[in-house]
Structures are given as C-alpha cells and as structure tokens.
Amino acid sequence: MNATVAAAVLFAALLHASWNALVKSGGSTLHSTALVAGGSAAMSALALPFCAAPAPESWPFLAASSLIQAVYYGMLAATYSGGEVSFAYPLMRGTAPMLVALASLPLLGERLHPLQWAAIGCICGGILSLCIQEHNAGRGSRRTAILALATACLIASYTVIDGLGVRRSGSALGYTLWIFLLSGGAFFVAAARRGNAQLLALANARPRILLLGGAGSMLSYGIALWAMTRAPVATVAALRETSILFATIIAAFFLREKVNRRRVAAVLLVASGATLMRLG
C-alpha cells in the first residue's frame, strides 16, 4: 500500500468516526441519524444515473442488505441515545469483524488462523474491560452494551451479504449507491413519519448533519472500496479499523466525554484485535 492509498483509507476512517459523532451531537439521535441517512440517500440518487446498474443476480442480496442497514440506522440511533461514543463505537465496530470471522466457519467452511484466535481474545478482553469500567462507574451501561452488540450483529450481517452480493453485481459502485438510496431513504421516511416537524427543525438548525454527515457516510465507504482496488483488501480493512481510535479522540476532545487511561487501554485492545482479525 503506497502513501496515497494509506492516507485515503485513514481519511475514510476519520470520516466514519466523524459522522457517528455528528449523530451523537445532534440532540435527538433518531432525527440526526435520519438526516445522515437522508443526505446519503439524496447524494446516491444524484450519482446513480452516471454509473452502471448492478446485475439482477445481485438484487436479492441488495434488497436484504438494504433492509438490514435500514434497521441498523435505527439501532445506531438507539445506541447513541443513552450511550457515549467512546464506549459504544468500539463495541460496534470492534465486535463486527469478529462476528464475521466466526460466521465464516459454518457458512463458508473457512478456518480461523491462530492470529485470528488471538484477535478474538483481544476484542473480547477489550469489550469486557469497557463493560466492567462502565458498570463500576455506575453509568447504566447494560442497555448501551446490549444495543451496541446487537448493532454489531447487524453490521456483521450486511457485511457478509454485501461480500456475496457485490461479487455478483458487476458494478460495485452501482450496488453501493443503491444500498445507500434504499436503506437511507427508507429510514428517513420512517423517521419523518414519527416527527416531521422535529426533523425539519433539526435540519434547519444543524444543516451540517445532513450535508457533512451524508457525504461522510458515503465517502467513507466509497474511499474504502476504491482503496481495495489499489491495495490488498485485508490491509485496507485493517487500516480502516483506526476509525475506533479516531472516534475515541473525537469523543474526548469534541464531545467532552470522560475518556480515562483505562478506557483508552481497552479501546486500544479492541482496535488491535479488530486490526489483527482483518490481517489474519
């Protein structure tokens, strides 16, 4: 991986962590998540006429992934409604690659390498440490932890589905844009039906959530896909896990969350495990 590609992947990781922080900073996490989803859906609609359509063979996968990702938006909003980014984000993003690897055993017949088993140990140790810290601090982390881990299951599910679907699509870009359009559009409409006035008020008060959040969501994934055409997929995926570290830094300095040394150590353990899992 050359320096240009590495810098692009790091930027994608920063974008992903940033739009998650925007969701948390918006007040109502339901409506801020809807703005991010709606922004990415609108931008996808504008870009779709200029790219090839995915092949029909990929449509069932596209539909399944879009449905799961629409639910994922809702779970993400629920997770951040009562939980801190520096706690929830590592749980979500660190657990997902572990679940994908474990699912590959029965679904794809793949075997885990010793490095991947070591990665599972790191991730589980980091997650356990985070949860113990939250419990000892009396922050009522059980609900957030359960929601974050459930969200990780959704991330793992659509990751596996997209891995199968994009290979059949003949157009990775078209496949991705349709997912953003369908999942983001569906969630935006559902959120608007629950509180259209509040959604419009937040869009007027915080337009950067709609614009920057939507663009960040799309670009972070698009850059990762582009990088995978220029460098080994495992290397790109591993470097992208630095988003866990970016999210922790943003939470500490911009969201003013209390991130002590023990939480930093636990987050580093989760991030290291996620990276090892991708490289294994």
Contact 68, 247 (CB under 8 A): no
Average pLDDT over residues 185-201: 87
- Is residue 154 within a helix (H) or strand (E), and if so which, with residue range? helix 141-169
* pLDDT tens digits, one per residue of 213-222: 999 998 898 8
Instruction: Give the number of domains in the chain.
Output: 1
* Structural domain that includes position 22: 3-279
Per-residue pLDDT for 163 more than 80?
A: no
Angle among Cα 212, 9, 108 to the nearest 5 degrees reads 110
Per-residue pLDDT for 172 more than 70?
A: yes
DSSP 8-state symbol, 241? T
Question: What number of helices (H) and strands (E) belong to the chain?
Answer: 12, 0
Per-residue pLDDT for 179 more than 70?
A: yes
* pLDDT tens digits, one per residue of 89-144: 988 888 877 777 777 666 666 676 787 778 778 878 888 787 777 766 666 578 88
pLDDT score of 45: 95
pLDDT score of 118: 82
Taking phi over 0 as left and psi of -120 to 50 as alpha, with beta for the rest, 75 belongs to: alpha
Pick from 42-56, 238-252, 264-278: least confident: 264-278
Encode 106-120: b = buried (16+ Cβ within 10 Å), e = exposed: eeeeeebeeebebbb
The residue among 259 and 65 whose pLDDT is bigger is 65
Residue of 115, 112, 100, 127 whose CA lies nearest to 244: 127
Contact 33, 217 (CB under 8 A): no
Percentage of the chain surpassing pLDDT 90?
32
CA 177 to chain centre: 16
Contact 79, 138 (CB under 8 A): no
Give the separation between CA 71 and CA 163, rounded to whole angstroms: 19
> pLDDT class for 80, splitting at 50, 70, 90?
very high
The residue among 190 and 132 whose pLDDT is bigger is 190
Average pLDDT over residues 180-184: 95
* pLDDT tens digits, one per residue of 31-47: 999 999 999 999 999 99
DSSP 8-state symbol, 54? P
* pLDDT tens digits, one per residue of 48-79: 999 899 999 999 999 999 999 999 999 999 99
Average pLDDT over residues 234-255: 83
Q: Would the CA dihedral through 217, 54, 7, 84 be positive or negative?
A: positive
Phi, psi of 71 (to 5 degrees): -65, -40
The residue among 200 and 151 whose pLDDT is bigger is 151
